[in-house]
A and B are shown apart, each in its own frame.
Chain A
Amino acid sequence: EAGVAQSPRYKIIEKRQSVAFWCNPISGHATLYWYQQILGQGPKLLIQFQNNGVVDDSQLPKDRFSAERLKGVDSTLKIQPAKLEDSAVYLCASSPITSAHEQYFGPGTRLTVT
C-alpha cells in the first residue's frame, strides 16, 4: 500500500513570495490533515478535510493561507504572501473516516522563507 505522498520535499523562497504544497493521501482515506511543525514544537493542525469538505480550519491564518481538496482526493496548501515565521515543515496526513487516531503522515515539505 502506497503511503502519503508530498511534494516538493524542500522549498526556499523569499518573503512576500507565494508557494504551494501538494499532498496525495492513502487511497480510500476520507480524512486529510495539514499540519505546520515549527522547529522544536509539535505539529499544529492547520486544516482538516473530510472528503472534500472542511471540518476544522480554526488555526489556519486565512489572510495568507488557503487549502483545497478537489474531488476529495489530492490536496494543495498555498501560502501567499509568505512571511519569515512561516518557515517550518508542512506535514500532510490522512486517516480512515472511522479511525482518526490512525493518522498516516507523509514525509513533509521543509519550507525556508528568507
Chain B
Amino acid sequence: DQQVKQNSPSLSVQEGRISILNCDYTNSMFDYFLWYKKYPAEGPTFLISISSIKDKNEDGRFTVFLNKSAKHLSLHIVPSQPGDSAVYFCAALSGGYQKVTFGTGTKLQVIP
C-alpha cells in the first residue's frame, strides 16, 4: 500500500522557469510533510517541511503548498537552476515515534 505517491517519475524544466513537483498521500494521520533532494551516489538531504496545520511554507526559492482536503502537496522551485537537477522525494511523518514514509521520487532536470 503506497501511502505517499509521486506520479511523475521525471520532469524537465528550462532554467529560470518554475518547477512544480507533486505528491499525493492517502493517510490523513500524517502530521508533517517533507521534501528531500538526492544527488547520485549521495544520501537524501532535507530541503523543506510543512506541518499539517499549515498550508504554505517558504524558504528562499522553495515553497511547499499543502491541500489537506485533496491530500496533495507540491513543491515549487522559482527560479529553477541547473544545480537543482536531482531526484526529489516527498515524505510524510506519522505516529508517536515519527515514522517517515517516502514517495517514489521525481527526477528533475533543469535545462540551461
Given A91-B43, A107-B42, verify A100-B98 contact (CB < 8 Å).
yes
Flag the segment in B69-77, B78-86, B102-110 that touches A: B102-110
In the complex, the chain A residue whose C-beta lies closest to that of B95 is: A56
Flag the segment in A11-19, A37-45, A70-78 that touches B: A37-45
Q: Determine if B104 and A40 form an interchain contact, defined as CB atoms under 8 angstroms apart.
A: yes
Q: Is B99 an interface residue (CB 8 A)?
A: yes
Q: Determine if B43 and A101 form an interchain contact, defined as CB atoms under 8 angstroms apart.
A: no
Q: Is A103 an interface residue (CB 8 A)?
A: yes
A interface bracket (residues with beta carbon within 8 Å of B): 20 to 34
Q: Determine if A42 and B105 form an interchain contact, defined as CB atoms under 8 angstroms apart.
A: yes
User: What is the CA–CA distance of A35 and B43 in the complex, to the nearest angstrom?
Assistant: 11
User: What is the CA–CA distance of A104 and B32 in the complex, to the nearest angstrom?
Assistant: 17
Q: Give me the interface of A with B, judged by CB distance under 8 Å.
A: 4, 33, 35, 40-45, 48, 50, 55-56, 91, 93, 100-108
Q: Give me the interface of B with A, judged by CB distance under 8 Å.
A: 4, 6, 32, 34, 41-46, 49, 89, 91, 93, 97-105
